[in-house]
């Protein structure tokens, strides 16, 4: 069983931190930065997850575009995201991006991520210190518990 997680994480590296915790010690998980260049071969994976910080209510455009380009028909997926004030609805756009492939969605994990966007910067940011150790543990548990 091979798992890829295709991600974008640029604001504070919050999402990457969550993914690194998820992947730690697992040889079946590969992390792929969608703006890092390099070739991605979906045929190499049994499950292709997508991950992002939340930007204006949704996954970053680069992940949405990448998913549209690479996600195979009938593929299995899951979603991981961080936001200053995230909610379950933040995966709506990534779900819509691959809806025509009839994906099997295994689940989603999200937690808070330090946010200094715009006016939040003036007050020292929101969700300071997140993701924290408890978030990272919960993230690991999520991936370990995925039925794949």
Ligand X SMILES: Cc1cc2nc3c(=O)[nH]c(=O)nc-3n(C[C@H](O)[C@H](O)[C@H](O)COP(=O)(O)O)c2cc1C
Give contact residues for ligand X (rule: CB under 6 A): 9-16, 53-57, 82-86, 113-115, 117
Q: Are 130 and 14 in contact (CB under 8 A)?
A: yes
Q: Tokens 């993701």 label which residue?
A: 131
Taking the complex as a whole, the smallest distance from the CB of residue 11 to ligand X amounts, in Å, to: 3
Taking the complex as a whole, the smallest distance from the CB of residue 57 to ligand X amounts, in Å, to: 4
Taking the complex as a whole, the smallest distance from the CB of residue 112 to ligand X amounts, in Å, to: 7
Q: Which is nearer to ligand X, 34 or 115 (CB)?
A: 115
Give the other-Cβ count within 10 Å of 126's Cβ: 17
Taking the complex as a whole, the smallest distance from the CB of residue 113 to ligand X amounts, in Å, to: 2
Q: Tokens 């195979």 label which residue?
A: 72
Q: Which is nearer to ligand X, 82 or 91 (CB)?
A: 82
Q: Tokens 């009839």 label which residue?
A: 102
Q: Which is nearer to ligand X, 75 or 115 (CB)?
A: 115
Give the DSSP H/E element, type plus range, for residue 96. helix 92-97
92: Cβ contacts below 8 Å, ≥ 6 apart: 58
Taking the complex as a whole, the smallest distance from the CB of residue 15 to ligand X amounts, in Å, to: 3
Q: Which is nearer to ligand X, 3 or 51 (CB)?
A: 51
Q: Which is nearer to ligand X, 48 or 111 (CB)?
A: 111
44: Cβ contacts below 8 Å, ≥ 6 apart: 2, 4
């Amino acid at each position: 069983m091979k798992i890829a997680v295709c991600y974008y994480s640029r604001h504070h590296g919050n999402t990457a931190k969550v993914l690194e915790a998820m992947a730690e010690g697992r040889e079946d998980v590969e992390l792929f930065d969608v703006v890092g260049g390099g070739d991605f071969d979906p045929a190499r994976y049994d499950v292709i997850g997508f991950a992002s910080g939340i930007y204006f209510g949704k996954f970053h455009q680069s992940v949405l575009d990448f998913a549209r380009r690479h996600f195979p028909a009938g593929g299995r997926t899951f979603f991981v995201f961080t936001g200053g004030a995230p909610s379950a609805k933040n995966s709506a756009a990534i779900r819509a991006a691959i809806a025509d492939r009839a994906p099997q969605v295994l689940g989603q994990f999200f937690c808070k991520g330090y946010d200094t966007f715009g006016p939040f910067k003036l007050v020292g940011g929101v969700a300071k210190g997140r993701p924290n150790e408890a978030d990272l543990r919960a993230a690991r548990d999520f991936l370990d518990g995925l039925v794949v």
